Amino acid sequence: MSDAPKGPRIIVEDAAVAPRLDFQWEQAVVPVAAPKVPSRWSGLGRAAAGAAVLGLGLAALDATNFVIDQFGRGPVQGWATAGVVVAGFGLLASGAWREVRGLFSIRAVERARAAFAREDLPAARAEALRWAGGVAEAASLQPALRQAGSTGELRALLEGGPLLVLDAQAVALGRAAAVQSFAVTAVSPSPGLDALVFTWRGVRLVRQVAALHGLRPGLLGTMALLRRTLLDAATVAATDVAVDAAARALLSNKLLEQFAGEAAAGAVAARRMLRLSKVAAEACRIVPPTP
Q: Which residues contact 265 (CB under 8 A, 6 or more apart)?
A: 185, 191, 194
Q: Which of residues 17-36 bind other proteins (CB under 8 A)?
A: 17-23, 25-26, 28-32, 34-36
Under the binding rule (CB under 8 A), the answer on residue 121 touching other proteins is no
CB 224 within 8 A of CB 104: no
Output 8 or 192, the one with its CB closest to other proteins: 8
3-state secondary structure of 30: coil
List 79, 88, 119, 128, residue binding other proteins (CB under 8 A):
119
Residue 79 CA from chain centroid, whole number: 43
Interface mask toward other proteins for 214-253; x: CB under 8 A: ------x--xx--xx--x----------------------
> Rule CB under 8 A: is residue 255 a binding residue for other proteins?
no
Rounded-to-integer distance, Cα 150 and Cα 260, Å = 50
Helix (H, G, I), strand (E, B) or coil at 184: helix
Residue 229 makes CB contacts below 8 A (sequence gap 6+) with: 206, 276, 279, 280, 282, 283
Q: Number of C-alpha atoms within 13 angstroms, CB side, residue 15?
A: 0
Q: Is 9 in the site for other proteins (CB under 8 A)?
A: yes
Q: How many CA atoms lie within 13 Å of 221's alpha carbon, on the beta-carbon side?
A: 28
| Residue 5 in contact with other proteins, rule: CB under 8 A | yes
Q: Is 254 in the site for other proteins (CB under 8 A)?
A: no
Cα 245 versus chain centre, distance: 27
* Nearest one of 281, 108, 133, 98 to 207, comparing CA atoms: 281
CB of 9 to other proteins, least distance (A): 5
| Near other proteins by CB under 8 A: residue from 85, 106, 154, 157 | 106
* Beta carbon of residue 283, minimum distance to other proteins (angstroms, whole number): 11
> How many residues bind to other proteins according to rule CB under 8 A?
52
Between 114 and 165, CB nearer to other proteins:
114
Contact between 6 and other proteins per CB under 8 A: yes
Contact positions vs other proteins (CB under 8 A):
1, 4-23, 25-26, 28-32, 34-37, 39-42, 45, 103, 106-107, 110, 114, 117-120, 220, 223-224, 227-228, 231
